[in-house]
Amino acid sequence: MTETIASLVSSDGKAIRTATGSSLASAIAALNIEPDPTLWVWLNYSNSTPDPGALEALLDCASRSSELTGIIGPKLVSTADPRMITQLGLTLTPFGDAFSPVSETFDQGQHDRGGDVLAVGTAGMLVRTTVLAKLGGFDPRAPELAADLDFSIRARMAGNRVVVEPKARVAYDGKAAELGGSMKVELRKASIHLRMVYSPIWSVLLYWLVLIPLGFLRATYRIAQKRPDRIWAEIYSAFWGFFTVPKRLSSRKLLPPNSNVTLAALKPLRANWQQVRAAARASADRDEAQQNLAAFARGNSDEVPAKGFSAALGWVFVLLLATASWHLFPTNIAVTGGNALPLSAQLGDLFARAGASWQPIADGYFAPSDPFNWVLLLLAALTFWSPPLAIGLLLFMARPIAFIGAWRVAALFTKKAWLRNITATGFALWPSLTAALGDARVADVVSSITLPWLVLGIARAAGLGRVGSARSNRQTWSWVALSGLLLAVVGASAPNLLVLVLVGLAVVASMRIRRLGYLFWIPLPLGAIFAPYAYYLIAKLGEPAAVIADPSLAKGVSHLSNLELLVGGSIFTATYLIAGLAALFTKRWGLSLALWCFGLLLVVAAWFTQQLSFPSADGADRTVAGSPLSLLSAAALVFVVLVVIAFDSVDKRWLIRTVCTGLTLLGLLPLLFASATSAPKFASSDGRVVPWLLVSQEDSDAKLLVISADGENYTTKWLSIRGQHLEDASTAYRFELSKLSKTTPYREVAKLAGAMVSANGVDIANELASTKVRYVLVPNNKSATVLEIGSSLDSVPQLESAGVTEFGRLWRVKDQPTLTLTRHSVWSITKGIQVAILGAFVLLAIPSRTRRNAGSEAQIFVDGEDADV
Amino acid sequence: MYKRFLAAALVLGAIVALFVNPLGLSLQIGDSAKPISVTAQAKDLTLVCPGALYRAGGSSGTSLQVTRAGSATLSGFFASNPSIRLVERRVVADAPLVAGLVNGPLVDAKSITVQDPSGSAVQGSALLAVTQVQKAALSNLSGLAAANCVRPSSDNWLVGGDTSPGRETLLILSNPTDVDSSVNLEIIGSGGTVSAPGLSSISVPKSKTTVIPISGVAPNLSTFAIHIVSSGGALGTWLQVRTMRGLLPGGVELVGPSAEPAKSLVIPGIFLRGLADAAKLSADNPAYADLTPTLRISSTATTQTTVTAQIVGTNAKTYGTVIQQVIAPNSTMDIPITGLADGDYVALIDSSEPVRAAIRFNRTKAKKTDLAWAPAVSPLKNKVVFNAPAGAISKLAIANPGKVGATVRVGSQTVTVPAASSVSVVAPAGRSATISSTVPVAATEVIDVGGLVAVIPVLDYKNLGGQLSILVR
């Protein structure tokens, strides 16, 4: 507990008496002052150390200035380093926040001219006793950090001067030392207090009304500023200000009556924006310098910088990979076939399907939708003018994105440009990714190409790797937020990969335990989008293992043999595996062994995933095996890193040539050929999933029955009239269907379909009314049964043919009342929380400061890879 | 250093272990939805018979009308029981519904329906099976023609026919329903789809039979298959194929709807007789060239199709031949089958894409010829009934396209059909018989009246219904 020490001193420097107290008010009261213009009160704290000549200098200043000078402050310096100025007067920003114009600055005599300031801090403050008496002392209702400002401003308003005397030095670290964590809250409280006390009464009322929303808004801004530590301060202080408004208003009574000095009149003494910005920049630079020093201390800096992406000809490989993906170029807005359906053309629809709210599946379904729908929403938001286009572009750009990501991951381990290029290209051409692309397995593609970026993000946030450290706390927060979002993306796209990724994250956290404060936040967005879904599957459906089911449509992949699992599906990657073995003979063999174990663990997980069968979402097959592709891509990344480690220390020219030629001829070129020649199993389409006739009637609760047959087994899809888009696939529904299909509505649909395909003239009016079926579509697969169903439906009296469409033959149900669209809320509490967390992380992830270190600026370390970060 | 070798050995060992890992788990996570079983009463089973043969040009050969010539004989089977009723109606305007007959003479096309208000009867040819046979001996129409009465359908393929000079193909479209029908034709010739006016929007009014000479839309086309798509009422469709060589009639046949296209097809009932006579005739006169047995393959695939046909004899003397051909996308091709001796054969066809197939062969006795089209037949999954007409020699060719031998019961006889082979069984005339087999077999009935030949496949008809399993998603 710091004590306040108040001394009554005379103008000639004699200390008359000294009193201590736990607060300013109590210390001053204990001093028992008689107001006298020649007597002064000198305030100090038990943890402030005035220089021997400090008081003399202050009194000297007092003697040189007029009677009006009421308060004189010293130059506050750091206790640890007296050359560092911590405070030299205080003022307010244009927004009314407390602001110290000089802080954390080397004292080079540049601030040695004292003069008028708006306010001074209480430490070392010399106050004329008459002023103290006139103002009624310090305001006990003011928050701790507002008391000095408030007192000084009142002195100003009473017509007194407030000055600083730089010759008087007091070593004091500020209130931060004693306030600790609550410092941020106190700062904000001080601002609110000052605003409420010094603004005109009408604006105080307005301010009070908007205080709480403003608190949330400021909290959001703090996130965008990469200051998540300030969120609590903003929100707590807003509530504090709102509920303690009577105290603030009573503080206004202390204002000097009949004063003609307003806060506006003191504007010249307040800080302008330029000063505020300069201070913020200086603070960021200090932070960066500290990070650099820390990195240097860890030995992470290079004397010779590695080549950047452009200098290493990375773009050539990007172009090469884009060319190899020519098959995948979107020729129309949507992707249909393979494992994809078009996305809805409205971004709003995609938002409605994300999270946990009502879903238009069958006759309406309420359960958390796939977390993957958030990924789809994110993708679609990137091409907001035409959401379905996102999938086509993603498939086309997947290889270049995977390349750049893997390139950066390789850069964590090596400076060699050729090694980065050759390994990253290998990763981008890995057969598991090619298989996922060819089948338009959006989820597998997303997880495969996101994984390197996630690894990079975590490495940066944890300060791992060759160039792994972020350059400032702000950047670290950006990387943390980015890693959080990427982890959510990977987890939502490949739940079967999630466990091992979390294990990896835990290993990283244990290696960088000091970074735990940052790393701790990374799984938050994943938890936000995954927890409700997992809870539903585990608690409501009683299927704990269902959480690792592939999301979305999850059609089957061809079963891979043990050898294919090891090499990711094509034997040519064996070159990389063999090269990766060489890593075990390098200096970093321990790391290599760990990586090998992790890589093989991923392959084992891929094998295990293949053995699992889940309920299928589509077609006549009732079960579908898990997809190992994401796990294989993850293993590919590990193997590629091993190749990097293996050849990082190779310096002999002939050996480099041999390795380059070997990897290119035996690995890269065959893989490139395979990628460029594998035809995709999907097609580009205009994004419709139902005939135009139905598209024009989307605003209705009407249902569409899609009847298809495989031999004697019929499959009936009970869909909303807008058809099934990619975001309508629901894993929870997939697992719950076996229960749902025993319920009456489903039995009625089955009965309806049975009556229709047999065209037996049974009355189906009741079933039509209750199931809301208004259209029947029979997809044309040219099989005999389909034609048979067609002729049956032709003879159902309640149906009339609506023509042959590209989706099959369509029938309309006659003489049924029109159904209007029931609007369902797209929100739920869960979804609100999810949106808040994701929004906060997105704000946090967007880099806020783009200012680059100019070349002329003095830098301790030159990081040659600035341009890539 | 030894640590590094140890590490490498460990990793290699793990890789090898992964590679040889023989384990196979099969873990089911979550219940998959079970199809809902729905009992749906099927629509009443209706068969429609083509009626007597048509004679284009009348007796003089110059008339513009096509008229019925003579009458066909109906022979059939109906598994009668008290809860069901057999009714029939001639396919002519305003014909009354009368009690059904499955035997007797037949001139106009007629439909035969099993009325089953309770839905108790199991539909199939074991409930109702009817065939018609007609022997014609007119100046320009002679030969034996036989056909199944078929279940009306809105999508049919007919594989057979020829419109080169002296060959006539009539398309018979019979609408037994109460709804008018509009028909679109697609003719797949040797060069792809034939485009000609008059192929679309052909009207087949309710209770009416429309006859279309294919020469009118695709003249001089020796090879084709016809796709008939009707909207509105479902139709019975047949081709009546007739050969004239100069003034000499060379045979007549009715071709019924083809089986579903498949990658593996079986054509039983290729009973070749008089090949020596035929060889003599065709050596003397090129008009007899088409006496050579010919395989017709029709493909609607978008890629080239490689077809391999094994023509397998029923005994050691007739060991058959093998043909391989590449069929252009969306085309029909005729492949002559040469080098065969007289005997009973079955064609087993394997194809890279689903195709339809039929074989044309002739029965030659001195200068008298009669043609027959043997279609590909789907293997029968259920017990079926076929009819052997009275006054004819009927033989049943049973082919087993599968990989295991079949024990087949035909009426009271039991025969064993080894895998990938065929057996011929003589059926007692004027009787109906049941075929049941341990594995699916394909069967065709070959009818012989006085050296004339006709072929009818043994089929099973049923409308969708009964116990349906429906998966609702």
Give CA–CA dist B77/B61, Å, rounded.
37
Q: How far apart are alpha carbons A534 and A369 in whole angstroms?
A: 10
What local confidence, expressed as pLDDT, does residue A868 receive? 38
Q: By CB neighbour count within 10 A (0-12 exposed, 13-18 middle, 19+ buried), where does A704 fall?
A: buried
Q: Hey, which residues does A92 pair with through a beta bridge?
A: A98
Determine contact: B32 vs chain A, CB below 8 A. Answer: yes
pLDDT of B233 reads 82
Phi, psi for A568 (deg, rounded to 5): 80, 10
Contact B472 A546 (CB under 8 A): no
Question: Which of A786, A773, A784, A771 has its CA nearest to residue A707?
Answer: A786
Question: Is B316 buried (19+), middle (13-18) or exposed (0-12) by CB count in 10 A?
Answer: exposed
Which of A616, A737, A776, A804 has the most B C-beta neighbours within 10 Å, making it the best mutation to test the interface with B?
Answer: A737
The residue-averaged pLDDT of B390-403 equals 91
Q: Which strands make up the sheet holding B27-28, listed edge to edge?
A: A623-625, A612-615, B27-28
Q: How many beta carbons lie within 10 A of that of residue A44, not counting itself?
A: 25
The Cα A461–Cα A483 span in angstroms is 8
The distance of A809 to chain B (nearest Cα, Å) reads 12
The verdict on a CB contact (< 8 Å) between B464 and A546 is no
**Looking at the partner chain, which of B11, B29, B35 has a beta carbon nearest the beta carbon of A613?**
B29
Q: Which two tokens stand for residue A586?
A: 């390098």
| pLDDT value of position A467 | 58
Which ranges in A299-338 belong to alpha helices (H)?
Answer: 314-324
pLDDT, residue A299, reads: 60
Burial class (CB in 10 A: 0-12, 13-18, 19+), A242: middle
The rounded distance, in Å, linking the Cα atoms of B426 and B433 is 11
User: Which chain B residues are closer than 8 Å to A747 by Cβ?
Assistant: 36
CB contact under 8 A, B29 and A614: yes
A31 interfaces chain B, CB cutoff of 8 Å: no
**How does pLDDT run across B251-263, given as a tens digit for each residue?**
999 999 988 889 9
CA distance A103 to A86: 4
Do A614 and A729 contact (CB within 8 A), yes or no? no
Q: How far is B458 from chain A (nearest CA, A)?
A: 18
A561-596 residues labelled b (16+ CB within 10 A) or e (exposed): eeebbbbbbbebbebbbebbbbbbebebbeebbebb
Answer whether B310's CB lies under 8 Å from B421's CB.
Answer: no
List the 188-247 stretch of B: residues with Cβ below 8 A of A: 231-232, 234
Measured between CB atoms, does B404 come within 8 Å of chain A?
Answer: no
Tell me which residue in B4, B24, B155 faces A787 most closely, judged by beta carbons. B155
How many contiguous H segments (helices) and E segments (strands) does chain A have? Answer: 33, 23
**Residue length, chain A?**
869
Half-sphere exposure of A316 (CA within 13 A, CB side): 8
| Partner residues linked to A800 by β-bridges | A812
Tokens coding B249: 């009639």
- CA nearest to B254, candidates B366, B134, B357, B343: B134
The two three-digit tokens of residue A565, written as one number: 């699992």
Say what the pLDDT of residue B211 is: 92
Q: Is B466 left (phi over 0), alpha (psi -120 to 50) or beta?
A: left
Distance (Å) from the alpha carbon of B418 to chain A's nearest alpha carbon: 27
Contact A108, A51 (CB under 8 A): no
Pick from B19, B33, B40: which is nearest to A563 by CB? B19
Candidate from B11, B14, B465 with C-beta closest to A758: B465
**Residues A543, B30: C-beta atoms closer than 8 Å:** yes
Q: What are phi and psi of A549, to 5 degrees?
A: -65, 145
CA distance B373 to A246: 105
- Contact between B3 and A585 using a beta-carbon 8 Å cutoff: no
Neighbour count for residue A245 (Cβ, 10 Å):
17
The alpha carbon dihedral of A856, A860, A863, A867 has a sign of negative
C-alpha dihedral sign at A312, A316, A322, A325: negative
Report in angstroms the alpha-carbon separations of A212 from A185, A236, A238, A242, A830.
15, 9, 5, 7, 22
- Cβ contacts of A246 within 8 Å, gap of 6 or more: none
Q: What is the DSSP letter of B261?
A: P
CA distance B207 to chain A (A): 16
Q: Is the CB of residue B100 less than 8 Å from the CB of residue B86? A: yes
Q: How far is B134 from chain A (nearest CA, A)?
A: 30
Query: DSSP assignment, residue A817?
Result: P
Contacts of A735 in chain B (CB under 8 A): 30-31
Give the Cβ contact number of residue A480 at 10 Å: 29
Does the structure show a pLDDT above 90 at B146? yes
CB A441 within 8 A of CB A491: no
Instruction: Kindly report the number of other CB atoms within 10 A of residue B180's CB atom.
Output: 16
Q: How far apart are CA A525 and CA A354, in angstroms?
A: 14
Q: What is the DSSP string of A72-128?
A: EEEEEE-SS-TTEEEES-BEE-TTS-EE-SS-SEE-SSTT---EE-SB--STT-EEE
Closest-CA residue of chain A to B466: A758
Decide if A584 contacts A596 (C-beta within 8 A).
yes
- CA-to-CA distance for A694 and B21, rounded, in angstroms? 52
Categorize the per-residue pLDDT at B23 as very low, low, confident or very high, splitting at 50, 70 and 90. Answer: confident
Q: Given CA atoms A255, A256, A262, A266 in this order, what sign does their dihedral have?
A: negative
Residues of A in contact with B155 (CB under 8 A): 787, 790-791
Of A543, A620, A758, Cβ closest to residue B463: A758
Q: What is the separation of C-alpha B313 from the centre of its chain, rounded to a whole number of angstroms?
A: 21
CA–CA separation, A423 and A570 (whole Å): 16
CB-CB under 8 Å, A622 with B33: yes
Tokens 């409605």: give the residue: A352
Nearest CA to A640 out of A588, A678, A592, A601 is that of A592
Supply A153's token pair. Answer: 């401003």
Considering only CA atoms, which of A628, A634, A639, A501 is closest in space to residue A562?
A: A628
Gap between the Cα atoms of A559 and A740, Å rounded: 30
Count the helix, strand and coil residues of chain B and give each as a percent rounded to the nearest 5.
10, 55, 35
Nearest to A599 by CA among A716, A522, A500, A694: A500
DSSP class per residue in A558-577: PPPPHHHHHHTT-GGGHHHH
Mutation pick from A627, A712, A714 vs chain B, by most beta carbons of B within 10 Å, is A714
How do strand B110-115 and strand B85-90 relate by DSSP bridges? antiparallel
- List, run by run, the mean pLDDT of 10-residue segments along chain A (869 residues): 85 85 85 84 88 89 86 90 87 84 84 86 89 86 87 89 90 75 84 88 91 92 84 91 91 81 80 87 81 69 69 89 91 89 91 88 88 94 93 94 94 89 93 92 95 92 68 81 94 93 90 84 93 93 91 86 86 88 90 93 93 83 88 94 90 86 86 87 90 86 89 86 90 91 90 86 85 90 74 83 87 87 87 92 79 41 38
A545–B39: do the CB atoms touch at under 8 Å?
no
Structure tokens at A605: 């997980």
Nearest-angstrom CA–CA distance, A715 and B178 = 31
Alpha helix positions (H), B273-414? 275-284
Task: Confirm or reject contact between B17 and chain A (CB < 8 A).
Answer: no
The length of chain B is 473
Name the β-bridge partners of B68: B54
Nearest-angstrom CA–CA distance, B252 and B69: 12
Determine the Cα–Cα distance for residues B425 and B415; give it in Å rounded to an integer. Answer: 8
